[in-house]
Chain A
């Protein structure tokens, strides 16, 4: 008889399979009431495979090691006044967007996985969801810890959780997750395991975080990479669940295909925020949005879909739409935030002449032709003391809730409008993807909490916009919002570095 230590596969088998028991006095359907209504058919849960075969002992051991490394860097960052060593205070605005827009999603993921981890009839899937739920809780905690240091030195961080539930642009990521969490357990797994982990976090946590490092932000790059190391596991799990569903029953194939189509597009639309963070909010540039998109979306998706082709799964039709937009997306997004910079809880600005040249070089087909003229006009207005703010409220897409700033790629200066009439009422969309998602499940999306409509209905305070922004959103007006130029953030930064603002220099010269 061998007394050899258990190997990884045996340990995993013991952790999972042998935890299951037979239900003798209750009907299975009572115990797992959400397993059937989505139309997914599972014939044999024991076919579930976790490729990492992660057991609790090694989970705790290595997660603890990751945490120790992470907190050592947070400590070093704050002890060395790391906030003063980032390239430029403008950069910190990307981190504000991260804390208000992304970190609360980690909490939603924690909650969502805890829920579906109860709903699956297979023990392997339940264990995997439980571990992922813990990972997500770790992510939200470490992110808040890391960014709490910035909260001591910069504006706009103080009310992130309150803002996430209310502010107009934060309804984009929030509604993405609400959509996933209000779906059934299998759709949630495809939505988050596939779309969020595979499509979204890879672009956010890899090239953007590498950019954070290049801009001197060691705290952010470290929580980013540390989180993404868990996401690598989650992505693998997302891929496994898709393969598992496809192998279980042929009737699952069209359902999974539709979910993939939907969630690839939903995830991509949320990436609009990341596109502008890459191209406009990193003072030191590593790679453009387009370049990162090509590596982490186009190349990664084409490998993935070639791999899934044997199950009859095809590349979603909207992937071509996403690819067509890659030379426009970040510029359109920054235009939206520059227009509505008075209503944002972070600062916006016009790129410097040098930064515009970089954009021209990276986007030779689009930047000078379509975007530079409007940016130069805005700069001119700013220099004349009339910084442009859009005085109205924007039209939003019913599905992604982003202002309708996207254009028709065959006519790139024409706004892309789509409309459906359902049950006697008009609904408007930014794209075929968003329209199709609505048309398939209108009873879900008639409930969208559209920030602009909610303001008109009087549900966000008022009567003036200042009341909405100040009291309902809790933006410190004149402090958190408006242009970076002239902001208290800029003044503090200049004070640390003995820099004079351009305006002061002019005053002294005259």
Chain B
């Protein structure tokens, strides 16, 4: 029983199925230990966009106001996709490297510990 309901075998409407996003899918991105950004952010982005779009447009648009942003060494960044360790391919599309609808992409920047080392 997937819900207690008066109707037998009740099935709920999936409000956020990918078809509802007009060709986009939802991607969440979080910068670990940088809580000046209060929560991970959400983007609507086409599945056939290259990863470079995330790297060059979406991430700077969301996180560049942080004083440590300019100091990031992108070759040293540690990525996680849905909690699994991940190595992005800049030229491949999101779909090609398994970044699907409502996936969580996290990046960690060891050595950059947030404002005054506070994780902010």
**CB neighbours of A458 from chain B (8 A):** 22
| Set A405, A441, A445: member contacting B38, Cβ < 8 A | A405
Q: Is A352 an interface residue (CB 8 A)?
A: no
B36–A336 touching, CB < 8 Å = no
A390 near B2: Cβ-Cβ < 8 Å = no
Chain A residue with Cβ nearest B17:
A425
Q: How far is the CB of B21 from chain A (nearest CB, A)?
A: 6
Interface of A is mostly: mixed
Interface positions of B from 1 to 36, Cβ below 8 Å from A: 2-6, 10-17, 20-22, 24, 26, 28, 30, 32-33, 35-36
Interface: A442 (CB within 8 A): yes
- Tell whether A452 pairs with B42 under 8 Å between CB atoms, given A373-B114, A373-B120, A428-B102: yes
Q: Interface size bucket, B side?
A: 35 or more
Given A377-B115, A404-B40, decide whether A413 and B35 contact each other with a Cβ distance below 8 A: yes
Of A31-39, A212-220, A244-252, A299-307, the one touching chain B: A31-39
A-contact bits for B95-112, CB 8 A (1 contact / 0 none): 000001111101000000
Shortest C-beta distance, A91 to chain B (Å), equals: 23
Question: Nearest residue in A to B116 (C-beta to C-beta)?
Answer: A373
Once A184-B4, A443-B2 are accepted as A-B contacts, the answer to whether A395 and B35 lie under 8 Å apart by CB is no
Within 8 A of B (CB), among A7-65: 33-34, 37-39
Closest to B41 in A: A392
Neighbouring A residues of B6 by C-beta, 8 Å: 33-34, 37, 184
Q: Nearest chain B CB to A363's CB is how many angstroms away?
A: 14
Taking a contact as CB atoms under 8 Å apart, the answer to whether A370 and B12 are in contact is no
Check B44 for interface membership: any CB of A closer than 8 A. Answer: yes
B37 with A339: CB separation less than 8 A: yes
A378 to B118, CA, bound (A): 14
Closest approach, in angstroms, between the C-beta of B38 and any C-beta of chain A? 4
A388 interface residue per 8 A CB criterion: yes
Asked if A487 is at the interface of the complex by the 8 Å CB criterion, the answer is no
Q: How far is the CB of B75 from chain A (nearest CB, A)?
A: 23
Contacts of B12 in A (CB 8 A): 442-447
Q: Please count the residue pairs between chain A and chain B whose beta carbons lie under 8 angstroms apart in the complex.
A: 165
A385 is an interface residue with CB less than 8 A from chain B: no
Q: Does A195 sit within 8 A of B, measured CB to CB?
A: no
B17 and A395 contacting across the interface, CB-CB below 8 Å: no
B54: CB under 8 A from chain A?
Answer: no
| Known pairs A373-B115, A447-B15; A37 contacts B120 (CB<8 A) | no
Check if B118 sits within 8 Å of A373, measured CB to CB.
Answer: yes
B49 at the interface (CB under 8 A from A): no
- What separation, in Å, do the CA atoms of A492 and B4 have in the docked complex? 52
Choose among B28, B38, B40 the residue with the greatest number of A CB atoms under 10 Å from its CB: B38
Give which listed residue, B33, B37, B102, contacts A414 with CB less than 8 A.
B33
List 29 A-B pairs, Cβ < 8 Å.
Answer: A38-B4, A39-B4, A335-B38, A336-B39, A338-B38, A377-B67, A388-B36, A392-B41, A394-B39, A395-B28, A407-B35, A413-B33, A413-B114, A413-B118, A414-B119, A417-B30, A417-B106, A419-B82, A426-B101, A428-B28, A428-B102, A428-B104, A442-B2, A443-B12, A446-B16, A453-B16, A456-B42, A457-B16, A458-B22
Interface residues of B (CB under 8 A from A): 2-6, 10-17, 20-22, 24, 26, 28, 30, 32-33, 35-44, 61-62, 65, 67, 82-83, 100-104, 106, 114-120
Question: Top 6 closest A-B pairs, CB basis?
Answer: A413-B119, A374-B120, A443-B3, A392-B41, A373-B118, A403-B39
